[in-house]
């Protein structure tokens, strides 16, 4: 007698989602596990274990299964998610430095920042032609990144770091840190979390040495704390945001405090602490109400209603408050610049995921199609990952026509996934 199929939770992990999709595609063709095993040259027990999320396939087997099941790339598209999940698991074991995100790697640099001079270097900038040209290039690359994703711009940013970083650190440390921050943000967008952490920590070292207390706090509370959240460590994210708030108590402007507290709210939500999250969000709103954009550092002036709505939507989604999550996601989408394709893709997919969790499947699929339209135009692992999470929410309803149609739309419209092998 054959073993009963293991119950899967597609939203639990990429491995569970892959197993559920593999099983769905195989059964749709009327194949047994033995039939598929023969086609891809493995034993049926391995197929059973992969479908049960007990074994992780390698990339070659993923490709063979995709071909054998005529999946049109549906399984291959999940490989970057599987690989990133594997790297995160390695971080708990004996992974070498730099391969993966490691929470403990931030502890000493943050302590060094806390103990360093409290000089406020917001006005420090390089005025020579080299620094001016670098600042203009940094602004241009940020703009391209927002529209097209890191797959388009990271090589150019990496080239600047390779050739000009040392000179910029000496002549214009704020601009050097800006390039490093952008490189870290783009590494996150490529799914290379360990590389992102290295870029962010190098930026923190630069601004700590330059005495730029406030920008250092931003790198800790926003860049590194968001990365900790992205890598599944809300405890570390909360510690980082709290450290930055304490360390900039006498320098932080309203918008800076608001951005720091928004990350703290996200950490509370991820931990399931609704009361602490609500308190932090109220403080964010109060901070923003007191702020004057012209008095804020240039690097924080972006943080406004659209960004707050985005942070709230993620908080409410994590807390299971789906009506509120959908409202805030819709507000963020409405307020965002139409050119911010990656952010629109992420927020629209989050809204669709929330609708799916609330059982509004037809509406979720309609919104999900809009998310795919946004994501199709950007070279971004984060966008593709968010679409994958959205489809994981809908996987239990894969027998419905609307979900099948959306899955087919994803397969035909989404570009090849941006992977960890990117430069």
Alpha carbons 351 and 362: distance in angstroms, whole number = 13
- Backbone region of residue 30 per phi and psi (left: phi > 0; alpha: psi in -120 to 50; beta: other values): left
Contact 249, 223 (CB under 8 A): no
Would the pLDDT of 249 be above 70? yes
pLDDT of residue 11: 84
Supply 62's token pair.
Answer: 């993923």
- Mean pLDDT for the chain overall: 90
pLDDT of residue 354: 98
pLDDT of residue 122: 43
Distance separating the N- and C-terminal Cα atoms of the chain: 50
Would the pLDDT of 121 be above 60? no
Would the pLDDT of 12 be above 90? no
pLDDT tens, position by position, 200-242: 999 999 999 999 999 999 999 999 999 999 999 999 999 999 9
Contact 290, 319 (CB under 8 A): no
Bigger pLDDT: 83 or 248? 248
At the top level of CATH, the class of 14-85 is mainly alpha
Bigger pLDDT: 108 or 101? 108
pLDDT of residue 83: 87
Contact 121, 213 (CB under 8 A): yes
- Per-residue confidence at 102, pLDDT binned at 50, 70, 90? confident
Tell me the C-alpha to C-alpha distance, in Å, between residue 290 and each of 146, 296, 302, 363: 28, 11, 16, 38
Q: What angle do CA 223, 355, 333 make, to 5 degrees?
A: 50
Alpha carbons 406 and 380: distance in angstroms, whole number = 20
Would the pLDDT of 89 be above 80? no
pLDDT of residue 293: 87
- Backbone region of residue 253 per phi and psi (left: phi > 0; alpha: psi in -120 to 50; beta: other values): beta
pLDDT tens, position by position, 34-73: 999 999 999 999 999 999 999 999 999 999 999 999 988 8
The pLDDT of 239-268, averaged and rounded, is: 96
pLDDT of residue 3: 58
pLDDT of residue 125: 47
Would the pLDDT of 394 be above 80? yes
pLDDT tens, position by position, 139-186: 999 999 988 889 889 999 999 999 999 999 999 999 999 999 999 999
Tell me the C-alpha to C-alpha distance, in Å, between residue 248 and each of 45, 221, 244, 359: 57, 11, 6, 44
């Amino acid at each position: 007698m054959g073993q009963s199929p293991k119950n899967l939770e597609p939203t639990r992990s990429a491995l569970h989602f892959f197993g559920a999709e593999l099983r769905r595609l195989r059964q749709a063709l009327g194949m047994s596990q033995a039939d598929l095993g023969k086609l891809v040259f493995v034993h049926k027990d391995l197929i059973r274990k992969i479908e049960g999320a007990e074994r992780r396939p390698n990339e070659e087997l993923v490709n063979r299964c995709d071909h054998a099941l005529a999946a049109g790339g549906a399984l291959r598209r999940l490989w970057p998610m599987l690989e990133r999940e594997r790297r995160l698991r390695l971080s708990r074991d004996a992974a070498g430095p730099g391969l993966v995100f490691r929470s403990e790697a931030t502890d000493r640099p943050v302590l060094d920042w806390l103990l360093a001079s409290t000089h406020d270097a917001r006005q420090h900038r390089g005025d020579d032609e080299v620094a001016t040209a670098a600042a203009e290039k940094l602004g241009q690359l940020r703009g391209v990144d927002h529209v097209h994703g890191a797959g388009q711009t990271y090589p150019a940013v990496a080239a600047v770091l390779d050739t000009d970083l040392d000179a910029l650190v000496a002549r214009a440390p704020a601009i050097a840190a800006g390039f490093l921050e952008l490189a870290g943000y783009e590494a996150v967008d490529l799914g290379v979390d360990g590389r992102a952490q290295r870029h962010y920590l190098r930026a923190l070292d630069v601004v700590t040495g330059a005495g730029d207390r406030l920008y250092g706090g931003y790198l800790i509370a926003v860049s590194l704390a968001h990365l900790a959240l992205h890598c599944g460590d809300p405890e570390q994210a909360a510690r980082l945001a709290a450290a930055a708030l304490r360390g900039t108590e006498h320098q932080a402007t309203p918008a800076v405090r608001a951005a720091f507290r928004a990350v703290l709210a996200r950490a509370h939500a991820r931990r399931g602490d609704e009361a602490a999250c609500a308190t932090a969000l109220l403080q964010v709103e109060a901070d923003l109400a007191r702020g004057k954009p012209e008095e804020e550092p240039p690097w924080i002036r972006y943080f406004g209603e659209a960004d707050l709505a985005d942070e709230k939507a993620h908080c409410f989604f994590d807390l299971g408050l789906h009506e509120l999550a959908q409202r805030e996601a819709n507000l963020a989408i409405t307020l965002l610049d139409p050119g911010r394709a990656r952010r629109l893709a992420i927020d629209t997919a989050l809204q669709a995921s929330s609708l799916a969790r609330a059982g509004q499947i037809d509406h979720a699929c309609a919104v999900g199609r809009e998310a795919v339209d946004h994501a199709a135009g950007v070279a971004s692992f984060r966008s593709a990952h968010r679409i994958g999470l959205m489809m994981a929410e809908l996987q239990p309803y894969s027998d419905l026509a609307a979900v099948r149609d959306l899955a087919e739309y994803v397969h035909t419209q989404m570009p090849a996934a941006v992977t960890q092998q990117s430069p």
